[in-house]
Copies of this chain bind each other. A is one copy, B any other.
Amino acid sequence: MTGKQGVAPLDSLRFAEPLASQLRFLLEADRLKSVVRGNRIADGSRRENTAEHSWHIALFALVLAPHAVEQVDVLRVVSMLQIHDLVEIDSGDTLLYDAAGAAMQAAREEVAARRLFGLLPAGQASEFLALWQEFEAAATADARFAKSVDRLQPILLNHAAGGGTWTDYEVDEARERALTGRIAEGSPALWSAAEKVIEDAVRRGWLKPA
């Protein structure tokens, strides 16, 4: 999956370090715009890509930070959300409802993270890798809140799009609650909002009753 690279012409310019490594990483990151997710954008017109998803949830974090259950460092949360899905450049998006895929995913993503963040100068490489691992482990308040908005956004998009992946994959309410309930760990207020949306989706026939 590390085949096509758009960066060859830039390499020929032989920038000095650390800029050479930083620009190579930033151009490689561009490929996230071509990773397509399961869910659609809010108007239902097409599927969302992971780059614009990352922008959207970073905006969620900026706006919704006051609802975090513990005070968070917003720059750390936004930084995590900007980089948390870069691994999908190598490993692809795994749908939330794909349990078999999820089991394979963790190992593949760790390899991808080391390759991608390894493009950066050493100091930034270890900083970004640590931030990504912190997000994955969800062991800090910042990471738990970042996970909350990452889970909340597709619920709102499915609802706005009139069913989205819920109807595509015939998801039922119990499964949806099990997969998104961790929103509560970062923000009980946002989980309470998500529950209202889920209940409404059941009423509208977009989620099957439990």
Quote the shortest CB–CB distance from A155 to chain B (angstroms). 10
A87–B26 alpha-carbon span in the complex (Å): 25
| Chain B minimum-CB-distance residue to A59 | B82
Quote the shortest CB–CB distance from A24 to chain B (angstroms). 10
**Which of A25, A56, A161, A197: most chain B Cβ within 10 A?**
A56
Cβ 8 A contact of A62, one of B42, B63, B66, B82: B82
Cβ 8 A contact of A75, one of B26, B32, B74, B160: B74
In terms of DSSP, what is the predominant structure of the interface of chain A? Answer: helix
| Chain B minimum-CB-distance residue to A153 | B26
Which of the 9-residue segments A44-52, A102-110, A135-143, A178-186 touches chain B?
A44-52
**Which of A10, A18, A44: most chain B Cβ within 10 A?**
A10
Assuming the contacts A27-B42, A41-B30, A63-B120, asked whether A160 and B9 have C-beta atoms less than 8 A apart, the reply is: yes
Assuming the contacts A15-B196, A34-B45, A49-B52, asked whether A26 and B60 have C-beta atoms less than 8 A apart, the reply is: yes
Quote the shortest CB–CB distance from A3 to chain B (angstroms). 11
- Flag whether A177 is at the interface (Cβ < 8 A): no
Q: How many residues of A are in contact with the other chain, CB < 8 A?
A: 62
Residues of B within 8 A of A174 (CB): none
A82–B66 alpha-carbon span in the complex (Å): 18
A196–B15 alpha-carbon span in the complex (Å): 9
Instruction: Give A155-184 interface residues, CB cut-off 8 Å to B.
Output: 156-157, 159-162
- Flag whether A98 is at the interface (Cβ < 8 A): no
Residues of B within 8 A of A15 (CB): 193, 196
| Chain B minimum-CB-distance residue to A197 | B13
Using A34-B41, A34-B43, A74-B75 as known contacts, list a sample of 6 further A-B pairs with CB atoms less than 8 Å apart, ordered by residue number in A: A15-B196, A30-B43, A31-B43, A33-B56, A55-B55, A58-B78
7 shortest A-B CB distances, which residue pairs?
Answer: A55-B55, A6-B42, A75-B75, A51-B52, A30-B42, A6-B160, A52-B52
Can you identify 30 A-B contacts, CB atoms within 8 angstroms? Answer: A6-B160, A9-B162, A10-B160, A10-B197, A12-B200, A13-B200, A15-B196, A18-B66, A19-B193, A22-B63, A22-B64, A23-B193, A25-B63, A26-B59, A29-B59, A30-B41, A30-B43, A31-B42, A31-B43, A32-B55, A33-B48, A33-B52, A51-B51, A51-B55, A52-B52, A54-B55, A55-B82, A58-B58, A63-B120, A74-B75
